[in-house]
A and B are shown apart, each in its own frame.
Chain A
């Protein structure tokens, strides 16, 4: 079965700037992949190539088995751009209706209602876009991307304008989509969000993939922390397998053990290590 999104040796050059340098990437069916990297790493370019907005200099990309940018590929995906704007004079319902027509969706009013409820905009159905907050527009953007029940969703910074409640709504939405088998490529700077919802993480730096794997695979062991009646003790070199031995030693030494924690690096630490402090 074809991957929801596959990129092979993808390269893109904008004049003198090499935005992508031979990126290989795969997003499986129903997989939620987080795309991380500093500004200028090539994340948006990668997403835009997948959408057919940008033509690669070399390499190939496929969406649901069809060449990226082809009509078939575009029909099977939903996209929310990082910088987007909808016509201010349109209501939320009219906007979704427009995208239903363009996507060839036959979901009708039922689909629009469901999508607006999904992004907590049911009450704003008839409200014009110009009267919405940025967060509401971003949630409407996600609803727009979901029109026509796409097989894969490409989201470029979908939570950048959202407050914590809005972020949680989106996170729950992503989890629900995942349970329905929808694949998602999530381009985000919010590491905590990515860590919470993504199956796998890809870190880009200077147009190349520098790290790739599940958050567990990427995390490095950082020791074991044991809380005893004499305080918290950290064993920096220790691994998970060392835990029973360390606890036994503490007990043998007459200490009372209250808690044990295997320490591993957070996604933030993995990310910072991968990008070596680069910000743009």
Chain B
């Protein structure tokens, strides 16, 4: 199994998509540092009416971190999808898979090893980028979340869920079709989450209900919301209300129920993928 993990990681870091994501990450972090610099420099000039009790520093920092978490999630999912979209059908079509699969390692172990490799690379990537962006905001804005580690782990968990879904898709679909399907699921999850935020603010129970269903059907979204909620955990009063109205603080799914659900979901997706792969003709 370790041989396949090492092989998959070796292949992952040599793919052009890895380089593209690294370059994009560098650009993103550079722009984020610049944005943080100007936001917190200009923060003192913002005139808030005396009767409006908003902690502008907390609001700005939470909003910026929430936004960078979205970008981190997006880049992490791009990486996860491109590393796994052709893991079964794509590699089988290209003839890369057959020489490996005929070895005694077994298909289930091979797929699990590929999952571990892709999930490992992507979750480390997401966690590191998240920590760097928190450090940028913390250093520039002198504001730190109450819990720095948990949101990063949740964000990494969201990417791990998408990695598993992409691997499952790769058993049934060719690389292009799978890539399109996974990105559509990603967009669907995000849109449902955004609609859910709006519905919560407006008090629409029907939309809230279906947004919840979507968040649990695609638990990467629920984990992402959980992460956002952890970032905004220390906010109170009108600052908290304002954040809930926006797209990067309006989280309504959080806690251990979401995390346990996501873990169970991951196990089910994993079992489905391994069973389907074991039965597939190559």
Contact = CB atoms under 8 A, between A and B. Distances in A.
Nearest to B106: A71
A54 B282 contact: yes
A89 B104 contact: no
Interface string A257-272: 0000000000000000
- In this complex, the member of A72, A75, A102 whose beta carbon has the largest number of chain B beta carbons within 10 angstroms is A102
A85 interface: yes
- In this complex, the member of B10, B104, B279 whose beta carbon has the largest number of chain A beta carbons within 10 angstroms is B104
B11 A75 contact: no
A102 B96 CA distance: 15
B104 A98 contact: no
Contacts, number: 64
Bin the interface of chain A by size: 20 to 34
Contact of A83 (B95, B103, B104): B95
A158 to B, nearest CB: 13
Contacts of A75: 104
A144 interface: yes
Contacts of A53: 98, 101-102, 281-282
- In this complex, the member of B95, B103, B281 whose beta carbon has the largest number of chain A beta carbons within 10 angstroms is B103
Interface in A63-101: 71-72, 74-75, 77, 79-81, 83-87, 89, 98-99, 101
Contacts of B101: 52-53
A85 B86 CA distance: 14
17 contacts: A54-B282, A55-B281, A71-B104, A74-B103, A74-B104, A80-B99, A81-B95, A81-B99, A84-B98, A85-B94, A86-B96, A87-B10, A98-B3, A99-B103, A102-B103, A103-B103, A144-B99
Interface of B: 3-4, 7, 10-11, 14, 94-96, 98-106, 279, 281-282
